[in-house]
Amino acid sequence: MPKIFPGRFTADTSEPFVVFLIGMRINRPWAVHKWLPTATAMGPMLNSLYHNPESGFLGGEAVLYRGGIGLIQYWRTAEDLERFARSPQESHLKAWQRFNKAIGKDGSVGIWHETYQVAAGDYEAIYGNMPRFGLAAATSHVPVGKRGESARERLRHA
């Protein structure tokens, strides 16, 4: 069980970063042979990224939502993310090709992603009585006082 940090903490980074949200939606739950390979493809990718800090991957969290599985990822730059996604040496490109061949447009599994570039200081985060999580786990985990007591103060901290 991860260590819980009692009190209020925030993330602290003076660098710009990228938030990448990616996920899959199970549209046909009975088509396990379609969605299971998609669901399990992310594990090897994350393992590779966590063991390759020079990739630009800063960290991430898995989430379950109604109908699917998602990941919140933090990257140093959009270029780092794109380089990983397009590299023939990385597992993503092969997984994407397998998805398109096995599922394509048949509707059994949905996929999505969103990418946000965040300028230095243009973020706010709060973690109360939590283990290191999200952006704070990907960058620096500090007591809220370092960046301001309120969300408004933390957003204006830059």
The CATH number that applies at residue 44 is: 3.30.70.100
36 and 98 co-located in one domain: yes
Residue 8: name the closest of 120, 148, 122 by CA: 148
Digit-by-digit pLDDT tens for the chain (158 residues) are: 899 999 999 999 999 999 999 999 999 999 999 999 999 988 888 898 999 989 999 999 999 999 999 999 999 999 999 999 999 988 888 888 988 899 989 999 999 999 999 999 899 999 999 999 999 999 999 999 877 788 888 877 65
| Alpha carbons 91 and 50: distance in angstroms, whole number | 13
Specify the pLDDT at position 158.
55
26 and 79 co-located in one domain: yes
Give the CA count within 13 Å in the CB-facing half-sphere of 106.
13
28 and 77 co-located in one domain: yes
26 and 86 co-located in one domain: yes
84 and 139 co-located in one domain: no
Specify the pLDDT at position 83.
94
Instruction: Count the domains in the chain.
Output: 2
64 and 92 co-located in one domain: yes
131 and 92 co-located in one domain: no
Give the number of other Cβ atoms within 10 Å of residue 6's Cβ: 8
93 and 136 co-located in one domain: no
The encoded tokens of residue 82 equal 């794109």
What is the DSSP secondary structure assignment for residue 7, as one 8-state letter?
Answer: E
Measure the N-to-C terminal CA separation of the chain; round to a whole number of Å.
34
Specify the pLDDT at position 1.
87
Specify the pLDDT at position 150.
82
Give the number of other Cβ atoms within 10 Å of residue 15's Cβ: 12
131 and 61 co-located in one domain: no
Cβ atoms of residues 112 and 23 within 8 Å: yes
64 and 97 co-located in one domain: yes
90 and 61 co-located in one domain: yes
25 and 96 co-located in one domain: yes
Q: Residue 130 belongs to what H/E stretch? A: strand 127-130
Residue span of the structural domain in which 113 resides: 17-118
